[in-house]
Amino acid sequence: MKLLLSIILAGLLGLLSFLGPIGIYIICAIITGVIFRSFYLIHEIHKQVVQGRTIDRANEVYENYLKGKTKEGQ
């Protein structure tokens, strides 16, 4: 269904190009909007996936365990 919708929208955009400068302007505005929206969404996804250099809680507990074990061994 999405493929059919994409084909129809591409056909409509193709027809807009026959309207002269106004149609080409509309096509460029649509394409520019889609590109900027895509970059924004990619940036949001990147912020959620890569959350900086945070210390893993499991790693922190393991390090505390090792510190406590070395203190007991002394």
Q: Kindly tell me the burial class for residue 10, based on how many C-beta atoms sit within 10 Å of its own C-beta (0-12, 13-18, 19 or more).
A: exposed
Residue 37's pLDDT is 93
| Structural domain boundaries, residue 44 | 2-73
Number of structural domains the chain divides into: 1
Residue 57's pLDDT is 80
Token pair belonging to 21:
């400068």
Residue 54's pLDDT is 63
pLDDT band, very low/low/confident/very high, at 53 (cuts 50, 70, 90): low
The pTM of the full predicted model, rounded to 2 decimals, is 0.55
Give pLDDT tens digits for 26-44.
888 888 999 999 999 999 9
